[in-house]
Chains A and B, each alone.
Chain A
């Protein structure tokens, strides 16, 4: 069974901090995704990556960056955290065109 592991379930940070969210998948998937999930807004794509060192902006990339140095790992970086980035962050992976497999999510609070 596919395993997508996010490094933290809950995280509390302060405004202005640089925040790293880590995601690892064990299925050799080419594609990896970062979303944020907010009530009433569904899942909004922040960034995705279709190969190592490749990335593309999603719908809401502002204030975020990503890193994919190895195929199994996709990191989301909040360069300078702000309170409006308090949210649930979901990582997913997939083969091209195939269903995505999701991690359990990281609930991030920015104080």
Chain B
């Protein structure tokens, strides 16, 4: 069965620090990959997606992610985080049943 692993459960950063959240998946075929964000008290929303083509994808609010097929990874990055990025971040993979990682809680200190 396919699975998604997010390596960091809780990350604490100061404003302006760089961010990288790890995501690895286990599935041998073609995948669609997603990062979602859930701000406190809000619903999950899409941050960015990868279907095919350029493995470096850009999303909203300055986030980007790189798909490395050989490593089955889709890590999320942001060069300089802001206090407003405090949220929970989920990596997800399709096809078949959608599968989400356990989530990473990011706390950004002002």
Contacts and interface: CB of A to CB of B under 8 A. Distances in A.
Do A and B truly interact? yes
Interface of A: 33, 35, 40-45, 48, 56, 58-59, 90, 92, 97, 99-100, 102-105
A59 B34 CA distance: 19
B100 A97 contact: no
A104 B41 CA distance: 9
Interface of B: 6, 9, 32, 34, 36, 42-46, 49, 51, 90, 92, 94-95, 97-103
A103 B98 contact: no
14 contacts: A40-B9, A43-B44, A43-B100, A43-B103, A45-B100, A48-B97, A48-B98, A59-B97, A90-B43, A97-B94, A100-B44, A100-B98, A102-B36, A104-B42
A56 B97 CA distance: 9
A41 to B, nearest CB: 6
B49 to A, nearest CB: 6
Given A90-B44, A97-B32, A45 B90 contact: no
Given A41-B102, A97-B94, A104 B43 contact: yes
B97 A45 contact: yes
Nearest to B91: A42
Query: 8 smallest A-B Cβ distances: which pairs?
Result: A42-B102, A43-B100, A102-B44, A99-B46, A42-B103, A102-B43, A104-B43, A42-B100
Interface centre among B44, B51, B94, B99 (most CB of A within 10 A): B44
B36 to A, nearest CB: 8
A43 B92 CA distance: 10
Contacts of A35: 100
Contacts of A103: 43
